[in-house]
Chains A and B, each alone.
Chain A
Amino acid sequence: MDLHRPGRDDGHMSEDTPPVRLTRAQEGRLISGVCGGLGRYTGIDPVVWRVGFGVLVLASGWGILLYVVAALLMPNDPRLGAPIERLIRRRFDAGGVLTILGLLLGLGILVNLPQHGVATSLSIVAVLGLAVMVAQGRGISIGQIVRGIPERLQGHSAHDFPPPPPAPAASPAAPAAGRPVDTLPPGAVDLAALGQTLPDTYTTSYAAEVDDRVMDRVYGRRRPGAVLGKTTFYLALLAGCLMIPIFSGRPNDQILEIGASVALAVVAGGLLISTWYGRGRGLVVAGTLLSLTLVGTSVTSDAGLSGGRFGEVRWRPVDPAQAEQTYKMIAGDGRLDLTDLAMAPGQRVVVHAEVGAGRLRVKLPGTAQVELSASAGLGDVTVDHKVTSGPRAKVSQTLLPVTATPRPPVIELHLRGRIGDLEVSRDE
């Protein structure tokens, strides 16, 4: 029995059919046979998969994680199972493995967007978009896969999926049992026979939908909504990507906002068309996601943290001219070390630092006089181990030099925090 045959797994398997497994290739492998296995399953040349993984590795390193996860999820021998399957005692069919990889890819986009900017993230989006387009082109239903994500992530085998509604067994003119053929006029549908093929467990709405699909299959009709939805989606993707070269001179967050706005306008156009013609399947979901993306960028801009950084960030300026800037951090743990600042006697330097969520620690030279102005929306302000508790904690004071100096340099320090703590300490 060939358990790793190439082909499509649409989640509709009969009870006698084993789930389609996605296995690593035994022959022609370069590393572990992941790309070979994906190529054999999807019918796409493994070179294309290797290029895709290469782009992801070069773009953000996310491709390495994806490759390792794929290697752990794809067994060498379908009878033995993959390492992860043996560990958690569950089995993933081909669709399940691809779903997990797709979700990881989506997570990679979200993680890379703030860290590496729009251009890097869009390269990952491009790979994801190409994968979706190829899948759609090969007749794989993305919507069906999305609906089955919870079951697939639980590692259910294809046997656990509900059986598909049976297709009409015969031509439109097929007669019901016990009825002569000539009682139906040519081209008519025997609804009694058609109804007998549907199980009783379907709810009314689902049965109606299934009935529509059966009728579509019988008459070979294609619903106009499917075309409109797909066309609008691809046009929105294209329009959004076109904004990158057009507005390449602008900051990354503005390019993201423009691209998302244009894509949203295209989605809105598709919805307006679907008011009178066709049906824009999935366009409301796409519009909602794009709107939320836009709001996210607006909130970031409104917080004054546009261009801010995430995670653990350290700044250690040396040149006073370069130190005079606004250090922005959206979320994470930031450290601003001003102890190496080469300041002349009497020189004045103005430094701004802002944090959205997290902690910001500032270390000051003991030889400088510091005019401090700090405010924390929801958090504490700590100056030389003296804590001013929030919410809306404000500290405004002058810190004299630790060692007496005739004309000490002056640091005018403005700190602003929204959710998190601000800490200021002197170099001993």
Chain B
Amino acid sequence: MNDDQNRSWRHRFDPGSLIAGLFFLAVAVTHLLAVFGHVKISGTATVSALLGGLALVMIIRFLTRARRRDMP
């Protein structure tokens, strides 16, 4: 068995995944708090915030797409 077979993937830090993860976590926590009555959210404001946030996440993921290529 040679070294190449033993070599694992070298993963690079991916800021796009970090931003997406934090954004989705914020959305989930906000909705859970709203369901249990801790905060009150407006439907129209939520739509605007979500679409804006998704657009931002997609832009960041597009700009950092090269980071998602694992190097052997």
Contacts and interface: CB of A to CB of B under 8 A. Distances in A.
A82 interface: no
Interface of B is mostly: helix
Range for the number of chain B residues in contact with chain A = 35 or more
Interface stretch (A214-222, A324-332, A378-386): A214-222
Nearest to A208: B69
Contacts of B72: 212, 215, 221
A264 B29 CA distance: 9
* Nearest 3 pairs of A and B residues by beta carbon: A302-B43, A271-B21, A187-B2
A272 B71 CA distance: 20
Interface string B27-52: 11101101100000111101100100
Contacts of B7: 219
A219 B4 contact: yes
Given A258-B35, A272-B18, A276-B13, A294 B27 contact: yes
Contacts, number: 119
Contacts of B41: 298
Nearest to B50: A295
Interface in B49-72: 50, 54, 57, 61, 68-70, 72
Interface string B1-28: 0101101110101110110111111011
Contacts of A287: 20, 24
B67 to A, nearest CB: 10
Contact of A268 (B2, B22, B47): B22
Contacts of B24: 264-265, 267-268, 271, 287, 290-291
Contacts of A284: 20, 57, 61
B17 A271 contact: yes
B21 A268 contact: yes
Most buried by A among B8, B43, B70, B72: B43
A41 to B, nearest CB: 35
A40 to B, nearest CB: 38
A223 B70 contact: yes
A100 B20 CA distance: 31
Given A284-B20, A295-B46, 20 more contacts: A221-B5, A223-B9, A224-B11, A257-B35, A261-B28, A264-B24, A265-B24, A265-B25, A268-B20, A268-B23, A268-B24, A268-B28, A270-B21, A272-B18, A275-B14, A279-B70, A294-B27, A298-B34, A299-B46, A302-B42
Interface in A275-319: 275-280, 283-284, 287-288, 290-292, 294-295, 298-303
Contact of A219 (B5, B21, B23, B29): B5
A275 B32 contact: no
A349 B54 CA distance: 47
A249 to B, nearest CB: 13
A271 B9 contact: no
A32 interface: no
Contacts of A265: 24-25, 28-29, 32
A208 B65 CA distance: 14
A298 B72 CA distance: 44
B15 A302 contact: no
